[in-house]
Structure 1
Amino acid sequence: MTVCHVVSHVHWDREWYRTFESFRSRLVELVEHVCAELESGAMAGFHLDGQTVTLSDVLTVRPDLAGRIRRHVVAGRLTIGPWHVLADNQLVSGENMIRNLFAARRAAEPVGGLTPIGYSPDAFGHPGDLPRVLRGFGLDTALVWRGAPAGAARFRWRAPDGSEVYAVNQAYHEAEVLWADAERRLAAFLDRERERCGDGPWLLLNGGDHLAPSGTTARVAELGGPLRESTLPAFFAAARAADPEPPLVTGELRHPGGRLTFLLPGTLSARTPLKQANWRAQTLLERWAEPYTALSGRAEQVPNLRHAWDLLLKNAPHDSICGCSVDEVHRENLTRFDRVTSVGEQVLNRCLGALGLDVRLYGDPCADEAVLAVLNPHGGPVTQGVEADVLTAPGRYPRAVYGPDGESVPFESVTIGPEKAFEADLDLLPDTRDALRHRVALLAEEVPPLGWAAYRIELGGEPVAVPETSPGRRAQAGPYTLEAAGDATVTVSGGGRVFAGLGLLEDMGDRGDAYTFDPVPDAPVHARLYGSSVTVSPVRTRLSLRAVLDLPAGLDDSRERRSRDAVAVPVTVDVTCWHGTPELHWDVRLDNRAGDHRLRLLFPAGNAPGEWLADAHFSLVRRPVEPELGPLPDEPAMEARHPVAPAQTFGSAGSGAARVFVAAPGLPEMQGLPGRDGDVLAVTLLRAVGWLSRFDLRTRTTGAGPQLPVPEAQCRGPQRFGLVVRLGDADDLTLAHAAAQARAPMRAVQARPGTAVAPRHAGPRLAGGLLTALKPAEDGDGYVLRVSNPTGETVTAGLTLPEGAQVSEARLDETAYPAAELALEEFELPPYALRTFRVR
Structure 2
Amino acid sequence: MTVHVVNHTHWDREWYRPMESFRARLAELVARVCDQLDAGELGRFHLDGQTITALDALEIRPDLAGRVRAHAAAGRIQVGPWHVLADNQLVSGENLIRNLLTARRVAADLGLELAPIGYCPDAFGHPADLPRVLRGFGLDTALVWRGAPPAYPRFTWRSPDGSTVTAVNQGYYEPEVLWEAASAADRLATFRAKQAGRDADGPYLLLNGGDHLAPRALPAGLADGAARESTLAEYFAAVRDAVPADAVVDGELRYPGDWLTFVLAGTLSTRLYLKQANAATETLLESWAEPLTVRAGRGEAVGLLRHAWDLLLRNAPHDSICGCSVDEVHRENEVRFDRARQAGEHLVERALLDLGLDTRLAGDPVTDAAALVVVNPHAAPAAGPVTVDVYTAPGHTVGGLVDAAGAPVPYELLETEPTPLFCADLDILPDTRDTLRHRIAFVADPPAGGWAGWTATVVPGGPATPDPGVPGRTVTRGDWTLTVADDASFTLVDAASGRTLPGLGRLVDTGDAGDTYTYDPPRLDEAVSPVLRDARVHQSAVASRIVARAELTVPAGLTADRTARSAERVTIPLTVTATVWADMPELDWRVEFDNTADDHRLQAHFPTDAAATIWRADTHFSLLDRPLKPALGPLPEQRGYEADAGVAPVRSLAVLPGLAVLAPGLPEVQGIDGEPPSLAVTVLRAVGWLSRPDLRTRTAGAGPQLPTPEAQCRRRIVAGVGVRLDDDEASATAAAARRRAPLRAWQLRPGTPTPAPTTGLRVDGALVSAYKPAEDGAGAVLRLVNPTSTEVVATVAGVPGELVECDLAERPLGAEAVGERVPLGPYATRSFRVGG
TM-score w.r.t. structure 1 length?
A: 0.97
Indicate the residue corresponding to 2:812 in structure 1.
Answer: 816
* Deviation, structure 1 residue 414: 4.0
Asked if 1:577 is matched to 2:576, the reply is no
Confirm or deny: 8 A CA contact 2:473 2:546 kept in the other structure.
yes
Report the 3-state secondary structure (helix = DSSP H, G, I; strand = E; otherwise coil) of the residue aligned with 1:23: helix
Taking the aligned partners of 2:766 and 2:288, their CA distance within structure 1 comes to 19
Give the total of aligned pairs: 828
Confirm or deny: 8 A CA contact 2:526 2:565 kept in the other structure.
no
Structure 1 unaligned blocks of 5 or more: none
Report the 3-state secondary structure (helix = DSSP H, G, I; strand = E; otherwise coil) of the residue aligned with 2:123: coil
Please tell me the residue identity of whatever aligns with 2:804: S
* Deviation, structure 1 residue 450: 1.8
Q: Which moved more, 1:76-85 or 1:241-250?
A: 241-250
Indicate the residue corresponding to 1:739 in structure 2.
Answer: 736
Q: Per-residue displacement from partner, 1:129-166 (whole Å, max 9, x unpaired)?
A: 00000000111010000010001011010100010001
Please tell me the residue identity of whatever aligns with 1:344: G
Indicate the residue corresponding to 2:449 in structure 1.
Answer: 450
Among candidates 543, 555, 558, match of residue 555 of structure 1: 558
Confirm or deny: 8 A CA contact 2:266 2:516 kept in the other structure.
yes
Report the 3-state secondary structure (helix = DSSP H, G, I; strand = E; otherwise coil) of the residue aligned with 2:409: coil
> Closer, same or farther in 2 for the Cα pair 1:402/1:3, shift >3 Å?
same
Confirm or deny: 8 A CA contact 2:371 2:753 kept in the other structure.
no
Asked if 1:504 is matched to 2:506, the reply is yes
Taking the aligned partners of 1:757 and 1:45, their CA distance within structure 2 comes to 64
* Deviation, structure 1 residue 407: 1.6
Taking the aligned partners of 1:565 and 1:552, their CA distance within structure 2 comes to 6
Indicate the residue corresponding to 2:757 in structure 1.
Answer: 760
Among candidates 692, 709, 728, match of residue 694 of structure 1: 692
Among candidates 596, 600, 622, match of residue 597 of structure 1: 600
Confirm or deny: 8 A CA contact 1:183 1:223 kept in the other structure.
no
Report the 3-state secondary structure (helix = DSSP H, G, I; strand = E; otherwise coil) of the residue aligned with 2:601: strand
Report the 3-state secondary structure (helix = DSSP H, G, I; strand = E; otherwise coil) of the residue aligned with 2:235: helix
Confirm or deny: 8 A CA contact 2:448 2:759 kept in the other structure.
yes
Taking the aligned partners of 2:560 and 2:746, their CA distance within structure 1 comes to 52
Taking the aligned partners of 1:384 and 1:511, their CA distance within structure 2 comes to 41
Confirm or deny: 8 A CA contact 1:694 1:707 kept in the other structure.
yes
Indicate the residue corresponding to 2:236 in structure 1.
Answer: 236
Report the 3-state secondary structure (helix = DSSP H, G, I; strand = E; otherwise coil) of the residue aligned with 1:818: strand
Please tell me the residue identity of whatever aligns with 1:461: P
Q: Per-residue displacement from partner, 1:266-294 (whole Å, max 9, x unpaired)?
A: 00000011111111111111111011011
* Deviation, structure 1 residue 757: 4.7
Q: Which moved more, 1:666-675 or 1:90-99?
A: 666-675
Q: Per-residue displacement from partner, 1:681-729 (whole Å, max 9, x unpaired)?
A: 00001110010000000001110001111000001132111111112x4
Q: Per-residue displacement from partner, 1:647-688 (whole Å, max 9, x unpaired)?
A: 0011112x2xxx121111111000110222x21100001110
Confirm or deny: 8 A CA contact 2:455 2:754 kept in the other structure.
no
Among candidates 517, 520, 537, match of residue 518 of structure 1: 520
* Deviation, structure 1 residue 756: 3.5
TM-score w.r.t. structure 2 length?
A: 0.98
Indicate the residue corresponding to 2:363 in structure 1.
Answer: 363
Report the 3-state secondary structure (helix = DSSP H, G, I; strand = E; otherwise coil) of the residue aligned with 1:288: helix
Indicate the residue corresponding to 1:80 in structure 2.
Answer: 79
Asked if 1:829 is matched to 2:824, the reply is yes
Please tell me the residue identity of whatever aligns with 1:561: A
| Mapping of residues 390-405 of structure 1, within 5 Å | 390-405=390-405
Confirm or deny: 8 A CA contact 1:309 1:340 kept in the other structure.
yes
Q: Per-residue displacement from partner, 1:388-417 (whole Å, max 9, x unpaired)?
A: 111111111111111122221111124421
| Mapping of residues 590-739 of structure 1, within 5 Å | 590-653=593-656, 655=657, 659-676=658-675, 678-727=676-725, 729-739=726-736
Report the 3-state secondary structure (helix = DSSP H, G, I; strand = E; otherwise coil) of the residue aligned with 1:817: strand
Q: Which moved more, 1:62-71 or 1:259-268?
A: 62-71
* Deviation, structure 1 residue 246: 6.3
Taking the aligned partners of 2:413 and 2:338, their CA distance within structure 1 comes to 30
* Deviation, structure 1 residue 476: 1.3
Confirm or deny: 8 A CA contact 2:764 2:794 kept in the other structure.
yes
* Deviation, structure 1 residue 821: 4.6
Asked if 1:96 is matched to 2:91, the reply is no
Q: Which moved more, 1:428-437 or 1:398-407?
A: 398-407
Taking the aligned partners of 1:648 and 1:631, their CA distance within structure 2 comes to 27
| Mapping of residues 109-188 of structure 1, within 5 Å | 109-110=108-109, 111-180=111-180, 181-188=183-190
Confirm or deny: 8 A CA contact 2:270 2:517 kept in the other structure.
yes
* Deviation, structure 1 residue 423: 0.4
Indicate the residue corresponding to 2:22 in structure 1.
Answer: 23
Indicate the residue corresponding to 2:210 in structure 1.
Answer: 208
> Closer, same or farther in 2 for the Cα pair 1:594/1:577, shift >3 Å?
same
Taking the aligned partners of 1:28 and 1:415, their CA distance within structure 2 comes to 53
Please tell me the residue identity of whatever aligns with 1:87: A
Indicate the residue corresponding to 1:488 in structure 2.
Answer: 488
Taking the aligned partners of 1:612 and 1:681, their CA distance within structure 2 comes to 8
* Deviation, structure 1 residue 731: 1.2
Q: Per-residue displacement from partner, 1:352-396 (whole Å, max 9, x unpaired)?
A: 101110110001111110011111111101000111111111111
Taking the aligned partners of 1:246 and 1:50, their CA distance within structure 2 comes to 29
Taking the aligned partners of 2:307 and 2:208, their CA distance within structure 1 comes to 34
Please tell me the residue identity of whatever aligns with 1:457: A
Report the 3-state secondary structure (helix = DSSP H, G, I; strand = E; otherwise coil) of the residue aligned with 1:179: coil
Confirm or deny: 8 A CA contact 1:465 1:537 kept in the other structure.
no
Asked if 1:799 is matched to 2:801, the reply is no
Indicate the residue corresponding to 2:105 in structure 1.
Answer: 106
Taking the aligned partners of 1:611 and 1:404, their CA distance within structure 2 comes to 47
* Deviation, structure 1 residue 510: 0.6
Confirm or deny: 8 A CA contact 1:418 1:435 kept in the other structure.
yes
* Deviation, structure 1 residue 523: 3.0
* Deviation, structure 1 residue 754: 1.2
Confirm or deny: 8 A CA contact 1:399 1:465 kept in the other structure.
no
Please tell me the residue identity of whatever aligns with 1:719: I
Confirm or deny: 8 A CA contact 2:278 2:337 kept in the other structure.
yes
Please tell me the residue identity of whatever aligns with 1:41: G
Indicate the residue corresponding to 2:282 in structure 1.
Answer: 282
What percent of counterpart residues are identical? 55
Indicate the residue corresponding to 1:353 in structure 2.
Answer: 353
Taking the aligned partners of 1:49 and 1:134, their CA distance within structure 2 comes to 17
> Closer, same or farther in 2 for the Cα pair 1:633/1:476, shift >3 Å?
same
Confirm or deny: 8 A CA contact 1:811 1:817 kept in the other structure.
yes
Taking the aligned partners of 1:8 and 1:165, their CA distance within structure 2 comes to 24
Report the 3-state secondary structure (helix = DSSP H, G, I; strand = E; otherwise coil) of the residue aligned with 2:818: coil
Q: Which moved more, 1:68-77 or 1:518-527?
A: 518-527
Taking the aligned partners of 1:772 and 1:300, their CA distance within structure 2 comes to 23
Please tell me the residue identity of whatever aligns with 2:217: G
Please tell me the residue identity of whatever aligns with 1:121: P
Q: Per-residue displacement from partner, 1:78-137 (whole Å, max 9, x unpaired)?
A: 000000000001000000000000000011013232010000000000110000000001
Indicate the residue corresponding to 1:292 in structure 2.
Answer: 292
* Deviation, structure 1 residue 478: 3.3
Please tell me the residue identity of whatever aligns with 1:138: G
| Mapping of residues 420-459 of structure 1, within 5 Å | 420-445=420-445, 447-459=446-458
Confirm or deny: 8 A CA contact 1:220 1:229 kept in the other structure.
no
Q: Which moved more, 1:241-250 or 1:253-262?
A: 241-250
Report the 3-state secondary structure (helix = DSSP H, G, I; strand = E; otherwise coil) of the residue aligned with 1:316: coil
Please tell me the residue identity of whatever aligns with 1:688: A
Indicate the residue corresponding to 1:57 in structure 2.
Answer: 56
Confirm or deny: 8 A CA contact 1:478 1:577 kept in the other structure.
no
Confirm or deny: 8 A CA contact 1:468 1:536 kept in the other structure.
no
Structure 2 unaligned blocks of 5 or more: none
Q: Which moved more, 1:238-247 or 1:599-608?
A: 238-247
